[in-house]
């Protein structure tokens, strides 16, 4: 079973741990952490750890992009990125005095020919995969309808698409006639989307909004509270036990990995929702972003409850 992940604006994530951050002078860093970053790459790693064959695609240049590809290949992920003339980005996190200051590069501008090359590449890969996870923001140069174009191609081949993006990019997809099979907003993203505060009290009504018509799975992740979902018109609450959390960054991406894996395997709705939450929880229990320890999988899975409401 193969799953395709789409990361259009990947990055090298750099972390600089500093005891003190001195402004307007030199800061020397002894221990530098560099990893291949971007939401879709976290999804790719977790899928691999779940045991799926993973094909990763997106845009990459021949310097940092090549580094990202090398890194993913070392983890056994098949990489089919489209080469670009712009520069793949670095994203920097300065960890200081218990705080985190981030410097995020916007990333390259994609040329029209490169976008076209990507679409051709995407069509070619689709025949080899069962499902697709699309994550993150659109780089400059692509139209707001770019994800909808990918979804239209996937729908034509009857391949499920799990989409995890936010803001105007998500809104553009929801207003388009080509619908993804799954979206995974959190409460903040739903609030942003609907222009009114969405809480656990009004979530059922909120998910009935016309904006979500035609979307089979809406999975609202709720951090330590688990998740709420609307699947084929039915509502579900996923309850999870309290766990010791090390680093929850990337838990949403791990959740996406669980969803696309469960759906590609035709698991039941209940088991897919449980799988997604277990993946999010396992990621939160690790220091490394986009990583799960499968040894703890079953013990957590058995503690989750999915209630129809
Ligand atoms: P996002 O980062 O996209 O907002 P969440 O923070 O909701 O995603 O996390 C996704 C999933 O990971 C949750 O639904 C839950 O299953 C798990 N998770 C995240 N944070 C915690 C936590 N503090 N305790 C337990 N589980 C967590």
- Secondary structure (DSSP) of 274-300: HHHHHHHHHHHTSSSTT---GGGHHHH
Q: Judge if the beta carbon of residue 108 lies within 6 A of ligand 1.
A: no
Whether 83 contacts 65, CB under 8 Å: yes
What pLDDT shows up at residue 286? 95
From residue 284, how far is each of 79, 271, 294 by CA, in Å? 26, 20, 13
Query: 1-33, pLDDT tens digit by residue?
Result: 799 999 999 999 999 999 999 999 999 999 998
Say if pTM beats, i.e. exceeds, 0.90.
Answer: yes
What pLDDT shows up at residue 98? 87
What pLDDT shows up at residue 1? 78
Q: What is the dihedral of CA 277, 224, 252, 108, to 10 degrees?
A: -170
Report the C-alpha gap between 251 and 203 in whole angstroms.
21
pLDDT < 70 regions, the chain = none
Which has the closest alpha carbon to 219: 194, 184, 256? 184
What pLDDT shows up at residue 107? 96
Q: Judge if the beta carbon of residue 243 lies within 6 A of ligand 1.
A: yes
Burial of 309 (0-12, 13-18, 19+ CB in 10 A): exposed
Which residue's C-alpha comes closest to atom 1 of ligand 1? 252
Report the C-alpha gap between 275 and 13 in whole angstroms.
27
The number of the ligand 1 atom at minimal distance from the alpha carbon of 245 is 23
* 3 state SS of 84: coil
What pLDDT shows up at residue 146? 98
What pLDDT shows up at residue 54? 98
Report the C-alpha gap between 250 and 157 in whole angstroms.
30
Calculate how far, in angstroms, residue 282's C-alpha sits from the geometric centre of ligand 1.
10
Q: Judge if the beta carbon of residue 255 lies within 6 A of ligand 1.
A: yes
Radius of gyration for the alpha carbons in the chain, expressed in angstroms and rounded: 19
* 3 state SS of 73: helix
Q: Judge if the beta carbon of residue 222 lies within 6 A of ligand 1.
A: yes
């Amino acid at each position: 079973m193969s799953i395709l992940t789409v990361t259009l604006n990947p990055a090298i994530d750099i972390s600089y741990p500093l005891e003190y951050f001195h402004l307007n002078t030199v800061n020397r860093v002894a221990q530098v952490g560099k990893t291949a970053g971007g939401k879709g790459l976290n999804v790719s790693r977790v899928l691999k750890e779940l045991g799926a064959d993973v094909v990763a695609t997106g845009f990459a240049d021949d310097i940092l992009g090549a580094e990202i590809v090398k890194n993913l290949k070392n983890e056994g992920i098949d990489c089919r990125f489209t080469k670009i003339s712009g520069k793949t980005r670095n994203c920097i996190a300065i960890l200081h005095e218990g705080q985190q200051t981030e410097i995020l590069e916007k990333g390259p501008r994609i040329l029209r020919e490169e976008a076209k090359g990507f679409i051709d590449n995407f069509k070619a890969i689709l025949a080899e995969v069962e499902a697709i996870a699309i994550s993150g923001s659109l780089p400059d140069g692509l139209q707001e309808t770019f994800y909808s174009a990918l979804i239209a191609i996937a729908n034509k081949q009857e391949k499920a698409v799990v989409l995890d993006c936010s803001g105007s990019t998500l809104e553009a997809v929801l207003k388009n006639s080509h619908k993804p099979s799954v979206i995974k907003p959190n409460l903040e993203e739903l609030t942003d989307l609907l222009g009114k505060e969405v809480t656990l009290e009004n979530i059922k009504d909120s998910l009935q909004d016309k904006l979500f018509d035609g979307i089979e799975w809406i999975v609202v992740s709720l951090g330590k509270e688990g998740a709420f979902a609307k699947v084929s018109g039915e509502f579900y609450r996923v309850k999870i036990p309290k766990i010791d959390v090390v680093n929850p960054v990337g838990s949403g991406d791990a959740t996406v990995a669980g969803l696309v894996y469960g759906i590609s395997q035709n698991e039941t709705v209940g088991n897919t929702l449980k799988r997604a939450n277990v993946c999010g929880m396992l990621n939160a229990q690790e220091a490394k972003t986009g990583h799960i320890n499968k040894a703890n999988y079953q013990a957590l899975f058995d503690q989750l409850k999915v209630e129809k409401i």
